[in-house]
């Protein structure tokens, strides 16, 4: 189902019948990815007196409570309200949902005990392109990412200069397959977050960071149409479902 779409005064063709989902679904299981020292999410039927909200136990409907943390339990999109003193909602920051995006694969560089995604590696992978959104797939790209327990693993992270470079070339939406663009234990410096959002000097209020995605190896590096879907959460972050469409 080939469709022609105009975006930013550019006409592109995509096949809307072939979406490429790069989100990780949330499930109440140890198979769910975990970060920030949190236990797995819970999805449980409501109980009121003798009534349990579960059809298999006699109810007319399934009626569940869900307890989870957007930052710790799966694919999520956040705005600069994640690091600001004042409240800012991602639901107010993200007002349009289709973007021209570039998928790149980057192997973090070993520096002491850390693995760092450098400015140079980002530049090389982009090869002069300046997309509105960037999807970073880190190498190696094991399917373990979809269920990994990340706490206390000192995951790879984006160097401050790399985040600054992305801001300078006009990238507004940064997506990555890690729990954070920053180092797990960085004493609260959050250098990459701050560099990308230009915080606190002049925050880029309409820019987002999406973390804990998974980009299957079948998705080649290159240009895509990104549909960045979020739930209508009045919060600094929301669970999200980024979808890619290959540009024909």
Q: Which two tokens stand for residue 86?
A: 């004042």
Q: Is 92 helix (H, G, I), strand (E, B) or coil?
A: helix
DSSP conformational letter for 90 = H
Q: Identify the CA nearest to 210 among candidates 29, 27, 82.
A: 82
pLDDT at 70: 98
Q: Which two tokens stand for residue 96?
A: 């349009």
CA distances to 52, 53, 65, 67 from 57, in Å: 7, 8, 16, 21
pLDDT at 160: 98
Q: Which two tokens stand for residue 74?
A: 């799966």
Q: Identify the CA nearest to 172 among candidates 109, 95, 239.
A: 95
DSSP conformational letter for 33 = -
Is the separation of the CB atoms in 151 and 34 below 8 Å? Answer: yes
Judge if pTM exceeds 0.85.
yes
Domain boundaries, the chain: 2-25+71-246
pLDDT at 199: 98
Q: Domain 2-25+71-246: which topology?
A: Glucose Oxidase; domain 1 (3.50.30)
Q: How would you write the pLDDT of the chain (248 residues) with one tens digit per residue?
A: 789 999 988 899 999 999 999 999 999 999 999 999 999 999 999 999 999 999 999 999 999 999 999 999 999 999 999 999 999 999 999 999 999 999 999 999 999 999 999 999 999 999 999 999 999 999 999 999 999 999 999 999 999 999 999 999 999 999 999 999 999 999 999 999 999 999 999 999 999 999 999 999 999 999 999 999 999 999 999 999 999 999 99
Cα gap 87→224, rounded to integer Å = 32
Q: Which residues contact 106 (CB under 8 A, 6 or more apart)?
A: 117, 121, 122, 125, 136, 137, 138, 139
Q: Identify the CA nearest to 179 among candidates 202, 205, 148.
A: 148
């Amino acid at each position: 189902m080939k469709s022609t779409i105009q975006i930013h005064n550019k006409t592109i063709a995509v096949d809307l019948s072939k979406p490429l989902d790069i989100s990780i679904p949330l499930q109440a299981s140890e198979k769910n990815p975990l970060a920030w020292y949190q236990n797995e999410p819970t999805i449980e039927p409501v109980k009121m007196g003798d009534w349990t909200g579960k059809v298999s136990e006699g109810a007319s409907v399934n009626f569940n409570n869900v307890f989870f943390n957007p930052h710790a339990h799966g694919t999520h999109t956040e705005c600069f309200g994640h690091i600001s003193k004042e409240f800012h909602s991602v639901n107010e920051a993200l007002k349009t949902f289709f973007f021209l995006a570039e998928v790149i694969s980057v192997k973090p560089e070993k520096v002491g005990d850390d693995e760092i995604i450098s400015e140079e590696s980002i530049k090389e992978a982009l090869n002069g392109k300046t997309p509105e959104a960037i999807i970073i797939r880190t190498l190696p790209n094991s399917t373990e990412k979809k269920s990994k327990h990340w706490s206390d693993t000192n995951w790879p992270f984006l160097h401050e200069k790399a985040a600054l470079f992305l801001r300078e070339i006009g990238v507004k939406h940064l997506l990555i397959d890690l729990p954070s663009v920053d180092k797990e234990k960085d004493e609260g410096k959050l250098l990459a977050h701050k560099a990308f959002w230009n915080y606190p000097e002049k925050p880029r209020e309409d820019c987002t960071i999406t973390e804990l995605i998974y980009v299957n190896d079948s998705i080649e590096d290159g240009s895509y149409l990104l549909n960045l879907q979020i739930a209508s959460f009045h919060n600094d972050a929301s669970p999200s479902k980024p979808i890619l469409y290959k540009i024909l």
